[in-house]
Amino acid sequence: MKKAIAALGISAVTLAMSSADSSALETATVTADTLNMRSGPGISYSKRGVLHKGAKVTILEKSKGWVKIKDSSGKTAWVSGQYLSTSGGNSSSSSSSESAGYIAYVSVNSSLNLRSEASTSGSVIASLKNSEKVQIIEKKDNGWSKVKTESGKIGWVSSKYLVNTPTNSGNTSSQENSSSQNDSVATSGNVKVNTSSGLNVRKGPGTNHSIIGSLAGGSVVQAKEKSGGWVKVVLPNGSTGWVSGQYVSSTNESTSNSESSQNNKPPQNNESTAASGRVKVTISKGLNIRKGPGTSNAIVGSLAGGSVVEVKEKSSGWYKIKTANGVEGWVSGDYVTPTDEPLSGGASSNDTSSGNNNSSNNNGSFGSGESSATGDKIVDYAYTLLGVPYKWGGNGPSSFDCSGYTQWVYRNAAGISIPRVSRDQAQAGTAVEKGNYKKGDLLYFNTGGSGVSHVGIYIGGDKFIHCSGTQSKPGSVKVSSLNGYYGNVLLGARRFV
């Protein structure tokens, strides 16, 4: 009898403890449309089922943003705490990467850019509409999420414009999506250039408009207007022009005094620059040498930052110079300063006879000097990128590999879409026989001994412009001759215009 009473007492205590534990357990509600149930606390664990929005669960355990739950059927599993709301109304916390693998919806007023990298410097892959459903693949602490769209496209978007449920109106807490083509440009106010290599300023909103200047990386200017992903800005000299909204972002910083990273801006007088003697290039990104005193003249070469050249003549803020290797041409006086240092640095164009003889217009054994208007635009734009560094896998604009460079030039100079890798580019367009090459044609080479491995753009005069280098020995965008090594490994040419 005593044993029975003791057993009954123990059972009662156990039951009481069990009831107490049960009553202390927290309940929560699923806030996502669909929430994966996993065998462990992380997306690497296998899925055990799904919970739908509004489902009630019991919280059993928490671990680093993940929650072990029991559903109404008694099944236990782990879910991301980010998509649970407790009875008190607070969602369980989670780290920046623990919501990966789940569904989210775009919440913007217009559209959200899907980019190739986790920053506004990444190229735009697609534009996502408000309430569009995406799957989160990865989240970074810098506020960007890698997502997969329902059409299968994968890229990065700003995390602040993703929500758990569809919305009728977009997120208006920031100005980041006020433009359908730009992640972070305000309708008015100041914008900042977020590329390191400089940004072209054009006469109108599109790459079909002529380049009238350029802004150095980090420059801050006033935004006036938007059109189709382009932003009209006020330059430091008071003139206006258009820049691609992909490469500027809204800022509260004051406007900059420096306008350009290169010499492609309206000429201005600079009385502090010597009219004779020697001058030194004061910018680090390189300075264009032109055939005449003004941006309307063709580019015949480029001077590296720090080069010292001889001054021959002055005209409206432009200087006729002669380089250490004999090239003559004109540079903007805004980016040189008087010096007594010895001559140093040659022009990168390989034109050693005279800067007044633009090699791009010369005939040669590989092709004529003929070109179309589009071919000229392609070559002129390609020259603006002289000196941009090589990086394997680089898509621009701050670095390129060979095929990333050619793809960037054709797309931005003429709106022509070509494949990304060199071997595919060598199959696109129309084949061109040697001797008939024209400016703007794509050249492809066998530099590795096993087929197509390099590409560039023909500029006339048996020369081509390309981005050359390796992972161990990176180079930059430069001009090279076909009379020698590259002519021996040249496989052919393709025409897109």
Structure tokens at 48: 């055990």
Task: Considering only residues 85 and 76, tell me which one the structure prediction assigns the higher pLDDT.
Answer: 76
Residue 218 lies in a domain: yes
- Residues 39, 26 share a domain: yes
Is residue 265 included in any domain, yes or no? no
pLDDT of residue 24: 46
Boundary residue ending a domain (357, 376, 397): 357
Q: Which pair of tokens denotes residue 34? A: 């669909």
CA atoms of 395 and 376, how far apart (whole Å):
23
Boundary residue ending a domain (357, 376, 405): 357
Residue holding tokens 């070509």?
Answer: 418
Q: In terms of pLDDT, which residue wins out, 312 or 257?
A: 312
Residue 465: alpha-carbon gap to chain centroid? 22
Domain count, the chain: 5
| pLDDT, tens only, 202-248 | 888 777 676 777 777 777 888 888 776 778 888 766 678 888 877 78
Which residues have a Cβ under 8 Å from the Cβ of 464 and sit 6 or more positions away? 443, 456, 457, 458, 479, 480, 482, 486
- Are 136 and 201 within one domain? no
Catalytic residue list contains 209: no
Q: What are the beta bridge partners of residue 145?
A: 139, 157
Question: Stretch 424-442: mean pLDDT, rounded?
Answer: 91
pLDDT at 454 over 80: yes
The answer on pLDDT for 185 being more than 50 is no
Q: How far is CA 33 from the centre of its chain?
A: 33
Nearest residue to 453 (alpha-carbon basis) of 441, 466, 462, 464: 466
Pick the catalytic residue from 52, 209, 402, 467: 402
454 given a catalytic annotation: yes
**Rounded CA separation 380/15 (Å):** 84
Give how far Cα 148 sits from Cα of 36, 46, 159, 168, Å: 16, 20, 13, 21
Q: How confident is the model over 248-306, as pLDDT tens digits? A: 877 777 775 433 333 333 333 333 333 567 888 876 656 788 888 877 777 777 777 77
Same domain, 230 and 306: no
Lowest pLDDT segment from 80-94, 192-206, 285-299, 314-328: 80-94
379 and 332 within one domain: no
Active site residue 467: no
Question: The CATH number of the domain where 120 resides is what?
Answer: 2.30.30.40
Residue 56 lies in a domain: yes
Within a domain: 177: no
Residue 377 belongs to domain with CATH number: 3.90.1720.10
Range of the domain at 312: 277-357
93, part of any domain: no
Per the domain annotation, does 291 fall within a domain?
Answer: yes
Residue of 52, 209, 454, 467 marked catalytic: 454
Among 15-19, 95-99, 194-198, 453-457, the range of highest mean pLDDT:
453-457
- Give the pLDDT band of residue 369 (cuts 50, 70, 90): low
Q: Is the C-alpha dihedral spanning 408, 409, 413, 414 positive or negative? A: negative
- The reply to whether 400 and 432 lie within a common domain is yes
Let me know whether 330 and 403 are in one domain: no
Are 349 and 393 contained in the same domain? no
Q: Is residue 260 part of a domain?
A: no
- Among residues 52, 209, 466, 467, the one annotated as catalytic is 466
Residues 6+ apart with CB under 8 A from 152: none
**Residue that finishes a domain, picked among 314, 341, 357:** 357
Least confident of 24-28, 266-270, 397-401: 266-270
111 and 232 housed in the same domain: no
| Percent of the chain clearing pLDDT 70 (strictly above) | 72
Q: What is the rounded CA–CA span in Å between residue 474 and residue 471?
A: 6
- Higher-pLDDT residue of 381, 20: 381
Residue with token string 């208007």: 373
The model's pLDDT over 44-82, given as tens digits with 9 standing for 90+, comes to 677 788 888 888 988 888 776 788 899 888 899 988 887
* Spatial CA neighbour of 274 closest among 312, 330, 328: 312
The reply to whether 173 falls in a domain is no
